[in-house]
Amino acid sequence: VLGDRDGGGRGRAGRGARRSPRGLALEALTQVEAGARANELLGRLLDRCGLCERDRHLVTELVYGTTRMRRACDWLVSTHLRTRTDPVVRAALRMGAYQLAFMGTPAHAAVDATVAEVSGPGRSVVNAVLRKVAAEVDRGLVTWPDRATMLSYPDWLAARLVYDLGADVAWEAMEQMNQPAKANERPDGYIQDPASVAVAAHLAGFLGRPGARVLDACAAPGGKASALCSTDDPDRLVVGADRSLRRLRRMASNFARLGSPGSVALAADATSPPWRQASFDLVLIDAPCSGLGVLRRRPDARYRVQETDLGRLARLQRQLIEAALPSLRPGGILAYCVCTLTKAETAAQDNWLARAHPELEALPPPPEPFVPAGRGGLLLPQAAGTDGMYLLVTRLGSAGVM
């Protein structure tokens, strides 16, 4: 129950009042804290909000920015907060602090407009705390306890990236991933980050043979699979498989909308593949991963991913690679790709593969701005303002899988 405790508050938006951008953002932030995924939820809320384009942008910036900078915003309000807060008050405090410290919104607008969205006893708390934060920001008196708080990353995550990438590269990557992502539209209208465009283009370079058979074993929503379809080669087959039926439906409708020639969407668990052995010329494992290279686009992911996930994901990635190998015809290409930056999911996987499968010969990594990592290539988010991505391309010897 909201508003029944010390510092309690109630969002106006929740009572059927006409939606303002801040009211809608507050509702979204409250739901994100309760477990909703920011990118999925926001799309749904914006679809039925009736706000103009400018206000929709404001909602997006408030929700993505406040979520991304949640740890930093909590630090800003924490020194002025004397009472327990409920989810609406917490969301309002964070959203207000975000506008003051990171959006440069004038204090009167940020504080008044945010306070106006909260009713009940929590309203006075939000008002008092945000006025203190505004004064502190205005006088340049904010002192951060450490860099991870200032950039709003969990300690373990900052420490892991610093350990894996080196301090300078890691902090630069973390700063870059606090910038909003720009939408990149392919010529066919599909929205795809340039990092994924580059991966698909690099792989397409290995598909010289007419009628090549391509498998993207973890393919939904079909971004790379659709890019591997060819209008020049009517005989090329691109099988996009995925275990998630919900995501598979999205891929099938993307294939239909884009008119991806030769594409097939297939429900399958790639750890126990249903397709015939030695049947593909190129197999892509675009594996489930910690997603730490795409934090710009998934603002809540940094708090969702746990350190203990990394070992589990690395094991699953190896399992997917092992299971995919028999699908390759002799001389075929196996590509492993992840949208993350941890060593355990990138260069360490290459070390393992080199030892476990010497029959796979590594092929040159993609060109700059990728940089070598093991025998693969790592695209850092700061290199070209894209997602972070790792790609390793290998060729199976003519004797087949050993």
Ligand X SMILES: C[S@@+](CC[C@H](N)C(=O)[O-])C[C@H]1O[C@@H](n2cnc3c(N)ncnc32)[C@H](O)[C@@H]1O
Tell me the catalytic residues.
339
Tell whether residue 334 is a contact of ligand X (CB under 6 A): no
* Residue 140 vs 187, nearer CB to ligand X: 187
Burial, 15: exposed, middle or buried (Cβ in 10 Å; 0-12, 13-18, 19+)? exposed
Residues 222-281 interacting with ligand X (rule: CB under 6 A) = 222-224, 241-244, 247, 269-271
Tell whether residue 195 is a contact of ligand X (CB under 6 A): no
Least distance between ligand X and beta carbon 159 (Å): 25
Tell whether residue 387 is a contact of ligand X (CB under 6 A): no
Least distance between ligand X and beta carbon 168 (Å): 28
Least distance between ligand X and beta carbon 309 (Å): 13
Residues 63-102 interacting with ligand X (rule: CB under 6 A) = none
Give CA–CA dist 197/262, Å, rounded.
Answer: 19
Total binding residues toward ligand X, as defined by CB under 6 A = 20
* Residue 191 vs 399, nearer CB to ligand X: 191
User: What's the N-to-C CA distance of the chain in angstroms?
Assistant: 61
Of the candidates 90, 50, 48, 47, the residue with the CA atom closest to the CA atom of residue 70: 90
* Residue 267 vs 363, nearer CB to ligand X: 267
Residues 17-46 interacting with ligand X (rule: CB under 6 A) = none
Q: In Å, how far are 85, 375, 399 from 359, measured between CA atoms?
A: 59, 15, 8
Q: In Å, how far are 27, 242, 349 from 258, measured between CA atoms?
A: 34, 19, 33
Least distance between ligand X and beta carbon 192 (Å): 8
The SS3 assignment for 73 reads helix
Tell whether residue 115 is a contact of ligand X (CB under 6 A): no
* Residue 19 vs 224, nearer CB to ligand X: 224
- Among the listed residues 110, 220, 292, 392, the single contact to ligand X using CB under 6 A: 220
Least distance between ligand X and beta carbon 294 (Å): 9
Please name the helix (run of DSSP H) or strand (run of DSSP E) that holds residue 62, with its range, or none.
helix 53-68
Per the CB < 8 A criterion, the answer to whether 74 and 154 are in contact is: no
Tell whether residue 345 is a contact of ligand X (CB under 6 A): no
- Among the listed residues 87, 288, 326, 400, the single contact to ligand X using CB under 6 A: 288
* Residue 14 vs 288, nearer CB to ligand X: 288
**Is the bond leading into 369 cis (omega within 30 degrees of zero)?**
yes
Of the candidates 342, 400, 344, 346, the residue with the CA atom closest to the CA atom of residue 372: 346
Tell whether residue 286 is a contact of ligand X (CB under 6 A): yes
* Residue 116 vs 323, nearer CB to ligand X: 323
Give CA–CA dist 318/104, Å, rounded.
Answer: 46
Cross-strand pairs, 336: 285, 392
Tell whether residue 196 is a contact of ligand X (CB under 6 A): yes
- Among the listed residues 164, 216, 281, 300, the single contact to ligand X using CB under 6 A: 216
Q: Interacting stretch for ligand X, rule CB under 6 A, among 83-91, 143-151, 220-228, 229-237? A: 220-228
DSSP alpha helices (H): ranges in 139-234?
147-151, 155-165, 167-176, 194-204, 223-228
Give CA–CA dist 197/203, Å, rounded.
Answer: 10
Of the candidates 15, 77, 56, 393, the residue with the CA atom closest to the CA atom of residue 206: 393
Cβ partners under 8 Å of residue 70, min gap 6: 94, 152, 303
Least distance between ligand X and beta carbon 251 (Å): 8
Least distance between ligand X and beta carbon 48 (Å): 26
* Residue 5 vs 247, nearer CB to ligand X: 247
Q: Footprint of ligand X on this chain (CB under 6 A)? A: 196, 216-224, 241-244, 247, 269-271, 286, 288
